[in-house]
Amino acid sequence: MPTQGSTRTLSPAALSRLSTELRLACMRISRRVRFESSDVIAPHQFSVLCRLEQGPRTPRELADIEKVSAPSMTRTTSALVDKGLVSRADDPEDGRQVILSLTHEGRTLLRDIRRRRDAWVVTRVDDLTAEEQEVLRRATEILAKVAAA
Amino acid sequence: MPTQGSTRTLSPAALSRLSTELRLACMRISRRVRFESSDVIAPHQFSVLCRLEQGPRTPRELADIEKVSAPSMTRTTSALVDKGLVSRADDPEDGRQVILSLTHEGRTLLRDIRRRRDAWVVTRVDDLTAEEQEVLRRATEILAKVAAA
DNA sequence: TATTGTTATACTCTATAACTATA
DNA sequence: TATAGTTATAGAGTATAACAATA
């Protein structure tokens, strides 16, 4: 039996239609955000910087988290080190490992990229009515729950 | 002056926070949908099939619409023709052009991919309360408007 | 012997430049 | 000569396999 979903109001057809429309709307928003905020680094590089923001990591950990091969992660992190966004240090306890950290420059870049991405959404959400904004606020909570499920 | 947005309730900080959370929620939903519904064709191939669904196109038109180079589009469409999803025909009026159309097999594949993508969302939306579903329904309309702006 | 990280090599998708055929 | 499409070649990204250094 379903976890909740008991107060049923949607027909199967309406459920299907809502799901399709919702999925398409989310995809379009994502695409517009990516397109408009012409990033200075590639998506996979951005993703790795975000991981390092939470704390230093080894290449192995990053490869596992990002679900790419070790050689691919070597390539990605080398590019970030070359750009001065990430620093490499030897692990004092295990000579096989290296420890990757975000540099100050990397942290600044992350903040700038986020600000630019947000800008696109902010100008559009600002144009909505207070009621529409409230709907989006509640929807965001629900979507976060859905995405985490 | 703003188009609407006059019934102001959100502080700049709240507006910024909502925009960030909304953007992240949409991105996460998109990512999960893409990841879970392991597609049989690559994203750029899927995109071209969707264009051809609306009617036959020349390679030139597709390249312009998808914002890729002509040689890239040659490669993409050649792969789709090899898979039997797209058919190539000479333009009877202009010998330089070719006309690309969706085959029956291509049309069927599109429907199957969409069904699989929807499935992930459907099972999760079905688990929500009727009230939450109604919020998402209204949010979808608003997001569609935002994405089109 | 197992693990970490890199190098060697190959495949895919992207691009620009050069070429062929038609208008 | 201009345009449509393809082929030639190169540059990123992905991968697996093989290697060096360390545990």
Determine the pLDDT at residue B1. 44
- Alpha carbons B87 and B72: distance in angstroms, whole number: 17
- The four Cα atoms A123, A125, A126, A128 give a dihedral, to 10 degrees, of 130
Determine the pLDDT at residue B141. 95
Determine the pLDDT at residue A2. 47
**Among partner residues B15, B24, B130, which is closest to A125 by beta-carbon distance?**
B15
Higher pLDDT, A119 or B69: B69
Closest chain B CA to residue A132:
B142
Contacts of residue A67 in chain B, CB cutoff 8 Å?
none
Angle (CA) A76-A81-A86 rounded to 5° is 100
Nearest Cα residue to A44 out of A12, A70, A72, A24: A72
B2 CB within 8 Å of a chain A CB: yes
Contacts of residue B7 in chain A, CB cutoff 8 Å?
129-131
Chain A from 83 to 142: CB within 8 A of any B CB: 114, 117-118, 121-122, 124-140, 142
Yes or no, beta carbons of A121 and B20 under 8 Å apart: yes
User: Does residue A3 carry a pLDDT above 60?
Assistant: no
A17 CB within 8 Å of a chain B CB: no
A25 CB within 8 Å of a chain B CB: yes
Q: What is the DSSP letter of B123?
A: H
The answer to whether A81 and A21 are in contact (CB under 8 A) is: no
- Alpha carbons B141 and A21: distance in angstroms, whole number: 8
Q: A71-114 pLDDT, tens per residue?
A: 999 999 999 999 999 999 999 999 999 999 999 999 999 999 88
User: Does residue A51 carry a pLDDT above 60?
Assistant: yes
Chain A residues 37 to 96 whose Cβ lies within 7 Å of strand C are 58-60, 70-71, 73-74, 77-78, 88, 94, 96
Give the predicted TM-score (pTM) of the model. 0.79
Is residue B116 very low, low, confident or very high in pLDDT (cuts 50, 70, 90)? confident
DSSP for chain A, written as a single string:
--SS--S----HHHHHHHHHHHHHHHHHHHHHHHHHS--SS-HHHHHHHHHHHTS-B-HHHHHHHHT--HHHHHHHHHHHHHTTSEEEEE-SS-TT-EEEEE-HHHHHHHHHHHHHHHHHHHHHHHTS-HHHHHHHHHHHHHHHHHHH-
Yes or no, beta carbons of B28 and A147 under 8 Å apart: yes
User: Does residue B5 carry a pLDDT above 60?
Assistant: no
The answer to whether B128 and A139 are in contact (CB under 8 A) is: no
| Whole-number average pLDDT of chain B | 89
Q: B101-112 pLDDT, tens per residue?
A: 999 999 999 999
Q: B59-102 pLDDT, tens per residue?
A: 999 999 999 999 999 999 999 999 999 999 999 999 999 999 99
Is residue A20 very low, low, confident or very high in pLDDT (cuts 50, 70, 90)? confident
Is residue B6 very low, low, confident or very high in pLDDT (cuts 50, 70, 90)? very low
User: Does residue A10 carry a pLDDT above 70?
Assistant: yes
Q: B33-69 pLDDT, tens per residue?
A: 877 766 789 889 999 999 999 999 999 999 999 999 9
Phi, psi at residue B90, to the nearest 5°? Answer: -70, 140
A50 CB within 8 Å of a chain B CB: no
Determine the pLDDT at residue A110. 93
Q: Identify the H or E element spanning B36.
A: helix B12-36
**Among partner residues A23, A118, A135, which is closest to B20 by beta-carbon distance?**
A118
